[in-house]
A and B are shown apart, each in its own frame.
Chain A
């Protein structure tokens, strides 16, 4: 079930109404209701993979309790390893089995050893990269004695499967989200209202902007052999915006839905294109994943408390793994490596040369956008082709990439307008908060105009290919 679908538009009000009127009276029944709704939500994609969520949840629930009650460090480590094996094992099999097998075969072929095998047809379960990391962080925190395990199995299962963030994050930490399942939630008008506004803003970002950009990008990348010059450059820039808006839209909607049910999820994006360094960028982009890698990989490797060379090594390892997390392809690994190098080299030597923040923003944006060529391209050779063929030539073709002249011009203005709003949000505080301080009529007008703009300007329709959120593929 997509957030931007008719089915979800029917599903959510029903869940909302039942939640507040029927199930939020007692904790246990409330949690069971959330689990049921979440499993239904997930099951509508593919009910077969519910078993994986249940296995992961059950395993980490039991292991968490065992780790906590065990004083023997060897036993604790073994239990943790089992948890890691289960979660990474599930993830590894479904996401990386074919990738690693193909890579090993290629390596053997290069060495002159010819091997072959029948590639398995493995379906990647939606959300697997997210919920496995979420449950793994639970056992890791217990192992590090930063968290006490829960005995409430329904609370734990609800924490793992909570549908707003189940399939594409934010990846929540147990210390933040799990306690919210120990008590019933309170319905405050302001919280629910802000949740609904977030959902609507998320839908605007997705349907009006990101999906519009997708048309241009898909047209370009779909006929990559014919694309060159300015259209290609525009597609590269657009993809940087599409990825950000698409993913942040999902996060907004997820956080908004959680708010309407009285839950708080963590912020996942904080105006990353207004960063003043690459280090700053990764504190603003996909915050839940960056912090996960920082806490459980970078710090485990020594973090900043080791030599400079080891710090660089640690950073590169984190980014290589982060790249691999995004996809089972060497392109993603290269993308991750590039961003690691940006952090290590560009921050230290280049960024500090810029005096004005605006130049920093632009430099960081374009570096990021060009690194995303590897992210978007289907293959390494395609990425290299793009690099070779980007230029300012072929201006006439820019209106032949799925968006005609009025629409392409409108898109540019839309992006400019969006960035101005983000800048104002950063400098002057949240604009939506300011609007909600006005009287009812102004607020209602704002909400109505926002929804009408989605309806009249959104990219949807019979001939429009249903676009799921980009991060579903991870």
Chain B
């Protein structure tokens, strides 16, 4: 009996000391993590930027539309234009390379912070996923997305589903993941130490999660490849598995529990870039079966929704993963606006008349495409307006812009000539300005055309319009 007591004492002593040492070690690791000594170079980490902005934005604002996906989403939708067109707060939380399992956990955390009225899931991430076989790029993407989130309990809960056991420590700790910086990247440690001494700068400009990477569209060289080699993407290769189905259902269930409207969005690739899309679509349909009538799915890849997209809407690449350009994203955004309005997902909800909303979005990207400048605005004003067209002059620090908002029903031309008087340095002169209506976005609701003009021009007066 005495021996047993002595033994128990001994074991307790060992366990206690081991636990104590473990705690000290953990404190050391948590310290270096919190200080960020082993952080990777986050200057281009826009996933982190998105989540930081999301938390900042939701301190004072609610999110009405939450879009979740991966790189296809943040290059394919313009959240400011979406917000301004609908008069709501739209935010994109998307991390490159992630799949539907990550979308679910991101959604779970996001709605805990701010419950939206509508959630939009982009479908490119709805694919076959094997958590325990993640390596290199996809694993690194998953780490990035995981690290950017902040809710400790939800991150803890999601860890076993996102990573295999051997990756848990690396998911949680930059110190463990990047300790090799000591030899291979000491400069980064040095930069991190400097950064840790400075206060974190708050983002000045409104950031809602878009990341524009591609400005120019598909070039002839790639078009030739389509002709000679065929489409690089084959819908027949698209696969899903149990994980996909489980997590789509979890997303659906989560939205239902929280009375959130849910829709799915498929952003397109160039139609020559993909063949047998119907096979892909049919498999996706099976997974989205829960929805029944497919009325909650905007598929921009199918012909009836694809109109308006051209080679200029898509990234110039023959690689399988093709994103949209800036112009393509605008078109996709306004098609999404039409879809939401037609199905009335927001039930006519709008913040357009609220001063708080206008303070957030006024004069920002997309605002004047969808709203009118206030009368006392010196930098932005209506130059001309009738039932067919409204022309605005917009000034900012970089350039001046003429924005022509044309009624889509009446306009059939591809060019507008504006007879205008321009004033510059106390000189006035008449000039014809030509707006080329190279349709870069066309929807039922809006035709917007932009012409950048010389910054030196102080004032414009429209005296005539032709060819409308």
Contact = CB atoms under 8 A, between A and B. Distances in A.
Given A444-B21, A452-B25, A461 B179 contact: yes
Interface string B173-185: 0011111101110
Nearest to A410: B183
Interface in A404-449: 404, 406-407, 410, 444, 447-448
Contacts of A466: 166
B10 A192 contact: yes
Nearest to A188: B10
A193 interface: yes
B222 interface: no
Contact of B168 (A6, A189, A406, A452): A6
A444 B184 CA distance: 30
Given A192-B10, A448-B24, A452-B28, A462 B139 contact: yes
A406 B183 CA distance: 6
Nearest to A411: B183
A456 B170 CA distance: 13
B253 interface: no
A452 B31 CA distance: 13
B contact face: mostly helix, strand, loop, or mixed: helix
A406 B167 CA distance: 27
Interface string A11-46: 000000100110011000000000000000000000
A186 interface: yes
Interface string A290-314: 0000000000000000000000000
Contacts of A107: none
A20 B11 contact: yes
A153 to B, nearest CB: 27
A455 B25 contact: yes
B25 A448 contact: yes
Contacts of B136: 463
B10 A189 contact: yes
Interface in B24-59: 24-25, 28-29
A196 interface: yes
A357 interface: no
Interface string A377-417: 00000000000000000000000000110110010000000
Q: Which of A6, A187, A457 has the most CB of B within 10 A?
A: A187
A120 B178 CA distance: 43
Given A192-B14, A455-B29, A5 B166 contact: yes
Given A7-B165, A20-B8, A455-B179, 4 more contacts: A186-B3, A187-B7, A452-B28, A455-B25
A404 to B, nearest CB: 7
Contacts of A448: 21, 24-25
B464 interface: no
A82 interface: no
Q: Which range contains the number of A residues in contact with the other chain?
A: 20 to 34
B230 interface: no
Report the 4 A-B pairs with minimum CB-CB distance, sorted nearest first: A407-B183, A187-B7, A187-B10, A20-B11
6 contacts: A189-B13, A444-B21, A456-B179, A456-B182, A462-B167, A463-B136
B430 interface: no
Interface string B4-18: 100110110111011
A196 B18 contact: yes
Contacts of A196: 14, 18
B308 interface: no
A315 to B, nearest CB: 44
Interface in B121-150: 136, 139-140, 143
B15 to A, nearest CB: 7
B13 to A, nearest CB: 6
A88 interface: no
A65 interface: no
A445 B199 CA distance: 33
Contacts of B20: 444
Nearest to B20: A444
Interface residues on B, range: 35 or more
Contacts of B140: 462
Contact of B11 (A21, A459, A463): A21
Contacts of B28: 452
B165 to A, nearest CB: 5
A451 interface: yes
Contacts, number: 77
**Highest count of chain B CB atoms <10 Å: which of A403, A455, A457:** A455
- Identify whether the interface residues of A are mostly helix, strand, loop, or mixed: helix
A278 to B, nearest CB: 37
Nearest to B7: A187
A192 B136 CA distance: 40
Contacts of A192: 10-11, 14
A458 interface: yes
A6 B177 contact: no
Given A189-B13, A196-B18, A451 B25 contact: yes
B165 A193 contact: no
Contacts of A7: 165-166
Contacts of A189: 10, 13-14
Contacts of B170: 461-462
A48 to B, nearest CB: 21
Contacts of A456: 175, 179, 182
Given A187-B7, A189-B14, A458-B179, A447 B165 contact: no
A312 B136 CA distance: 54
Nearest to A25: B4
Contacts of B184: 404, 407
A448 B18 CA distance: 10
Nearest to B179: A456
B183 A404 contact: yes
Contacts of B3: 186
B139 to A, nearest CB: 6
A444 B20 CA distance: 9
Contacts of B178: 461
Interface in B230-244: none
Interface string B74-109: 000000000000000000000000000000000000
Nearest to B167: A462
A461 B180 contact: yes
Interface string B273-313: 00000000000000000000000000000000000000000
Contacts of A458: 179
Contacts of A193: 14
B21 A447 contact: yes
Greatest chain A CB density within 10 A among B11, B24, B183 is at: B183
Nearest to A457: B182
Interface in B180-204: 180, 182-184, 186
A424 to B, nearest CB: 25
Nearest to A459: B180
B182 A6 contact: no
Contacts of B4: 25
Contacts of B143: 462
Nearest to A185: B7
Which of A188, A444, A462, A463 has its CB near the most chain B CB atoms (within 10 A)?
A462
B10 to A, nearest CB: 5
A24 B11 CA distance: 12
Contact of A187 (B11, B29, B183): B11
Contacts of B168: 6
A211 B1 CA distance: 47
A447 B28 CA distance: 14
Contacts of A407: 183-184
Given A20-B7, A193-B14, A455 B176 contact: yes
B169 A6 contact: yes
A271 B11 CA distance: 32
A459 B166 CA distance: 14
A144 to B, nearest CB: 37
A455 B140 CA distance: 20
A447 B21 CA distance: 8
Contacts of B14: 187, 189, 192-193, 196
Interface string A132-160: 00000000000000000000000000000
B177 to A, nearest CB: 6
